[in-house]
């Protein structure tokens, strides 16, 4: 159901931190014009934790209308509360989303049986195809392969976004998903290897900046052109590294601002990219041909 390069889209903001709808539509066009196969709205990269429900709903509404069925629109609906996750998923369904992406509940750190019960409830009552999202470095809980396997037969659970970029974990999750769920990498740096192992695509931060190369990377793996895929992946390794020098989405928003795609806004408690990293970011973007030679 889900494949290729799916972007975890940022939320553009002006210098005062207000959502910039015009820039948001430009970002959607940038993705559509460069082969992106799906768009996640109001996920982690979108600063979902600082968006109001009204802002998230408005962004989703704009995306559904603007994309007009050309690629799937996936709503980030995960929350610490099962009840609120269901409610947000139902709202996304009413606004026309094609699927929901629900991160494991953070901070309260449920046991595996709690994660299983949480996802079953969301799948049964949310009203949308559901993508599980495992990112233990941020959520402080790990959705284990055995739990994924138990969930794999649940109606409406259609995919897993796995952000543990370890080859062993990818193999274990692929086995756990069986034939009923897609596995999507959630780690740009290891997504090529994950797709070579059998993942169907990636939900990507890097695609915000380089949608064309990421789309070609995914297509090359799907076509069996591993030499081409590895060449693209090698070219992008510096970008992947820089996207992780500070907490996501700090680096990617700075890059998009440097490219003239969005304004400088980011909401507290996040901050603009530290000055110590800006020269490296400038050099990387120039190497990739994304900005003219200048000082940030």
Residue range 136-141: mean pLDDT, rounded: 92
Residue range 128-133: mean pLDDT, rounded: 98
Consecutive H or E run containing 122: helix 112-125
| Domain CATH for 15 | 3.20.20.70
Spatial distance between the Cα atoms of 225 and 61, rounded to a whole number of angstroms: 37
Q: Considering the domain boundaries, does residue 10 fall inside one?
A: yes
What is the pLDDT at residue 87?
A: 98
Q: Considering the domain boundaries, does residue 115 fall inside one?
A: yes
Does 295 score more than 70 pLDDT? no
Indicate the pTM of the whole model: 0.96
Find all residues with CB under 8 Å of 207, minimum gap 6, and list them: 5, 6, 7, 8, 31, 36, 214, 215
- In the block, tokens 């290729």 appear at 4
Q: Considering the domain boundaries, does residue 69 fall inside one?
A: yes
Give the model confidence (pLDDT) of 62-94 as tens digits.
999 999 999 999 999 999 999 999 999 999 999
What is the pLDDT at residue 178?
A: 86
Q: Is 203 annotated as a binding residue?
A: yes
Residues 244 and 32 sit within 8 Å (Cβ to Cβ): no
Give the model confidence (pLDDT) of 262-290 as tens digits.
999 999 999 999 999 999 999 999 999 99
What is the pLDDT at residue 86?
A: 98
Does 183 score more than 90 pLDDT? yes
Q: Is 207 annotated as a binding residue?
A: no
Does 108 score more than 70 pLDDT? yes
Spatial distance between the Cα atoms of 225 and 147, rounded to a whole number of angstroms: 34
Does 58 score more than 90 pLDDT? yes
Please state the domain count of the chain.
1
Does 294 score more than 60 pLDDT? no
Does 293 score more than 90 pLDDT? no
What is the pLDDT at residue 1?
A: 79
What is the pLDDT at residue 291?
A: 82
Q: Considering the domain boundaries, does residue 158 fall inside one?
A: yes
Q: Considering the domain boundaries, does residue 130 fall inside one?
A: yes
Share of the chain above pLDDT 90, in %: 93
Exposed/middle/buried for residue 270 (C-beta within 10 Å: 0-12, 13-18, 19+): middle
Which residue range is the domain that position 141 belongs to? 4-222
Q: Considering the domain boundaries, does residue 72 fall inside one?
A: yes
Spatial distance between the Cα atoms of 286 and 296, rounded to a whole number of angstroms: 11
Q: Considering the domain boundaries, does residue 58 fall inside one?
A: yes
What is the number of other CB atoms lying within 10 angstroms of the CB of residue 250?
18
Q: What value, to the nearest 5°, has the Cα angle with vertex 259 and ends 254 and 260?
A: 100
Q: Considering the domain boundaries, does residue 152 fall inside one?
A: yes
What is the pLDDT at residue 179?
A: 87
Catalytic residues: 133, 161
Give the model confidence (pLDDT) of 4-36 as tens digits.
999 999 999 999 999 999 999 999 999 999 999
DSSP state of 8: E
Torsion of CA 107, 111, 116, 122, to 10 degrees: -30
């Amino acid at each position: 159901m889900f494949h290729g390069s799916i972007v975890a889209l940022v939320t553009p903001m002006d210098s005062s931190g207000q959502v910039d709808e015009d820039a948001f539509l430009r970002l959607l066009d940038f993705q559509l014009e460069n082969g992106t196969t799906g768009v996640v709205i109001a996920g982690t990269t979108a600063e979902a934790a600082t968006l109001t429900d009204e802002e998230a709903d408005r962004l989703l509404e704009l995306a559904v209308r603007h994309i007009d069925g050309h690629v799937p629109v996936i709503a980030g609906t995960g929350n610490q509360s099962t009840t609120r996750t269901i409610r947000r998923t139902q709202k996304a369904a009413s606004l026309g989303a094609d699927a929901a992406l629900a991160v494991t509940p953070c901070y309260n750190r449920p046991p595996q049986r709690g994660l299983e019960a949480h996802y079953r409830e969301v799948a049964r009552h949310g009203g949308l195809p559901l993508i599980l999202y495992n990112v233990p470095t941020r959520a402080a809980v790990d959705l284990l392969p055995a739990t994924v396997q138990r969930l794999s037969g649940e109606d409406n659970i259609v995919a897993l976004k796995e952000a543990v970029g370890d080859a062993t974990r990818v193999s274990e999750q692929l086995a756990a998903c069986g034939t009923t769920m897609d596995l999507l990498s959630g780690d740009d740096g290891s997504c090529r290897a994950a797709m070579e192992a059998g993942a169907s695509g990636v939900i990507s931060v890097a695609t915000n900046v380089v949608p064309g190369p990421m789309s070609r990377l995914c297509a090359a793996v799907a076509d069996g052109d591993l030499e081409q895929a590895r060449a693209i992946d090698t070219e992008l390794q510096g970008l992947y590294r820089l996207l992780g020098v500070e907490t996501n989405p700090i680096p990617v928003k700075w890059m998009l601002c440097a490219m003239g795609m969005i304004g400088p806004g980011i909401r507290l408690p996040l901050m603009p990219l530290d000055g110590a990293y800006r020269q490296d970011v400038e050099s990387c973007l120039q190497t990739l041909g994304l900005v003219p030679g200048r000082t940030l």
